[in-house]
Amino acid sequence: MRSKIIGVSVSLVLVAVIAPLVAAQSPDPRTVIITQLVVRLRTTNIANADTNATVLLGVGGREFNLDIPDQTQELRRNTVIIYQIGRDSNVINPEDNSPEAAAITLFDVNSNSTYIRMRDTGSNAWNVQQADLVVVSSGSVASSPQGIFEARFCYLALGGLWLGPGYGFRLPLKEKDNPGVPCPGD
């Protein structure tokens, strides 16, 4: 009988020690501020796949303009463009076009749809093959200088998907179960 009582006591002590550690590593999503959004867009290698239209990222209940100063590099046939929004930004108007300026939290990201949207400006259509989004926070537990990958969203169409007049303007991105694993096609 005595050994059973000791076993129960040890179990209770372990639960009392481990439970606060687990809780400390899972911060409330409403307090986790998003510091960076990294978007990678791949245009297909088919005729007329490129566009000069304005393309936006929708995440956390807000839209961000995916526009870099060097417009010759954007959304051309058979290219991959990486946009960084927030920390280490490479987009125009980086102070206003930032998740920190809007105080977007992980809760906001999880509560709203995530998508790429082509603005209807009468421009030509665009054929997108792949769209990836990595959501990064500054983190509070075990954070690295690069931050913590909080979420990863992906879209892959091997043959491409047309966006624009006559096709539709919005491309939904789906969240991956494991944000540390690259999207298909990487």
Q: What digits encode the pLDDT tens for the residues 152-161?
A: 899 988 889 9
Q: Residue 13 above 60 pLDDT?
A: no
What's the predicted TM-score (pTM) here? Answer: 0.79
Provide the pLDDT for residue 36. Answer: 93
Cβ proximity of 126 and 51 under 8 Å:
yes
Residue 1 has pLDDT above 50, yes or no: no
Instruction: Please answer whether residues 112 and 28 qualify as being in contact, where contact means their C-beta atoms are separated by less than 8 angstroms.
Output: no
Q: Decide: 51 and 41 in contact? Cβ < 8 Å.
A: no
Average model confidence (pLDDT) across the chain: 80
Domains of the chain, CATH where assigned: 27-175 (2.60.60.20)
Contacts of 144 (CB under 8 A, 6+ apart): none
Judge whether residue 6 has pLDDT over 50.
Answer: no
For 115-119, 120-124, 141-145, which range has the lowest pLDDT when averaged over its residues? 141-145
CB 117 within 8 A of CB 171: yes
Residue environment code for 114-126, b if the CB has 16+ CB neighbours within 10 A, otherwise e:
bbbbbeeeeeebb
CA 86 to chain centroid, in Å, comes to 12
pLDDT at 40 over 80: yes
**pLDDT score for 71:** 67
pLDDT higher than 70, residue 137? yes
